[in-house]
Amino acid sequence: MQQNDLNTVRFMIELYCRRKHKTKKGELCGECQQLWEYVQFRRAKCPFGENKPFCSNCRIHCYKPEMREKIKEVMRYSGPRMMFYNPRVAWAHVSETLKRKRREKKINKSLKKTQNDKSE
């Protein structure tokens, strides 16, 4: 999962950079290259390892505030456009997000039920 996730992030940063900073396909400007290196560094340090969820679904936010804002900007721009450039990856991302939300909802529901049973 992690390598696919990194490939998706790289694709999104490249798309953002190409459209916003007018770079050639496959290239990154200095600012976007710095963001990409930071993403790789933080992903390598992620305590979830191979089971890492997408950052938007993660309960731990490990990016510095300014880098988190920058990656959010990239994601907000590239996310909706992914459907046109790489629909398979876009649908996989949506599907994984929905699965994770369903799992969390189920877990929370079961925790509440357990708490209610104990209080009775």
Q: What is the pLDDT of residues 2-37, one digit of tens each?
A: 567 788 899 999 999 999 999 999 899 999 999 999
SS3 percent helix, strand, coil of the chain, rounded to 5, is: 80, 0, 20
Give pTM, 2 decimals. Answer: 0.77
Q: What single letter denotes the amino acid at residue 74? A: V
Q: Which two tokens stand for residue 2?
A: 């992690």
* Calpha distance 61→55 (Å, rounded): 7
Q: What is the pLDDT of residues 62-94, one digit of tens each?
A: 899 999 999 999 999 998 998 898 898 888 878
* Calpha distance 100→120 (Å, rounded): 31
Residue 55 and residue 40 in contact, taking contact as beta carbons nearer than 8 Å: no
